[in-house]
Structure 1
Amino acid sequence: MALGDEQIYEELKSVLFTDNAISSEAAALAMGLVMLGSGSESAAHDMFTYAQETQHETIIRGLAIGIALISYGKEETAEDIIGKLLGHQDSILRYGGCFTLALAYCGTSNNSAIQRLLHIAVSDSSDNVRRAAVLSLGFVLLRDYSTVPTIVELLSQSHNPHVRYGTTMALGISCAGRGLQAALDVLDPLLKDPVDFVRQGATIANIFA
């Protein structure tokens, strides 16, 4: 992990190109882990290109998350691939774009990243993308965790259960181990949510927080 070893990367890429739904997805994730934080433009390009060629949703998802891992900590350097992912018609790639934005600006509290994620959270046509956008706020605000409850409070009251689930995970990620009362106050009503997976998310986040 994070060695940036080209030989290992190429071996994994050969597995990816077999286009097997299971092994190729694993290879895509492994490629991201090997190139973690490298910001490799060639690797991101290879993976983005193949994600547009394969018909397997699992492989596309693996590649999208793999690209996010490559972009970890790269901030503005990752903007090109972030733009391509977030602007794509495929919702799985937009989903990956949220995580790429989250990891590129992880812990930075970057205002532009926060605003973009909030916009996606209320406007995207895909529930999966909206959930990922809200969840991703937790990564961007890791070091400014005390602001997260205020930022996600309105989202926690959304009519969309996927958005509400995203708020539980954003709080669980950013406020883990903090015992922050404001976070627990937002999570408390979600523990009684009418939707089962929202209650599940709130329970997990409540344990972490």
Structure 2
Amino acid sequence: MRGARSYRRYVSNRGRISIAHTLRKNMVYEGIPFDPVLTSRRDEKPRLVVICDVSLSVRNTARFMLHLLYSLQSLFEQVRSFAFVSDLVDVSQYFEQLGLAEAIGTVFSGELLDVDANSNYGRALEIFCQRHLAVVTPQTTVIILGDGRGNRNPPNAAALEAIRLRTKQLIWLSPEPRGSWGPRQFGHAVVRTDLSSCRGGPQSQANWAGSLKI
């Protein structure tokens, strides 16, 4: 998220004199700054949406990612977390209301979704687009975590594209090296999508996590 935190200046009764705003407002006085305009700075935290594969093949990586997100929640304006295997569920409330161990335990318990099913990326992203696409805004970074193994199910790259068109940046994190993605994996469709970032392998993910700068 390097550079994700931003700020916006707005006209205020307090703050610093804005030369540009003052000159523009005082054009009626032939540019003489008779009526100064003050502006203040408002910090804007980034928004984050995470779509996390919690199937058996990526379970350890998913646990690491969910641990990381839990510790970073206070740095974001909003964090929405979604877990999927074949179905997709919103797990945000569990990370907001429960302790770390209990929240992650709930996600992997099988109570919310069948964690032993085969991954179906196309179906999961379709559910996300149908039910939750409104949470993605131009201020939102979307992170998808998964190995791209869709088990011969249609990849539904159109759903991924629909997310990309709404987001500030779309990042794919895979526990497998990018070179290992085969034509039957969802990753084959991903590499044809204009992602902001696409990282493969544990070392790439470690480097990415270490470079987070909010």
Comparing both structures, which one devotes a greater share of its residues to helix?
A: 1
Range of TM-score over shorter length: 0.3 to 0.5
- What is the TM-score with the length of structure 2 in the denominator? 0.33
Comparing both structures, which one devotes a greater share of its residues to strand?
A: 2
Q: Which has the higher contact order (CA 8 A, sep 6+)?
A: 2
Larger Rg: 2
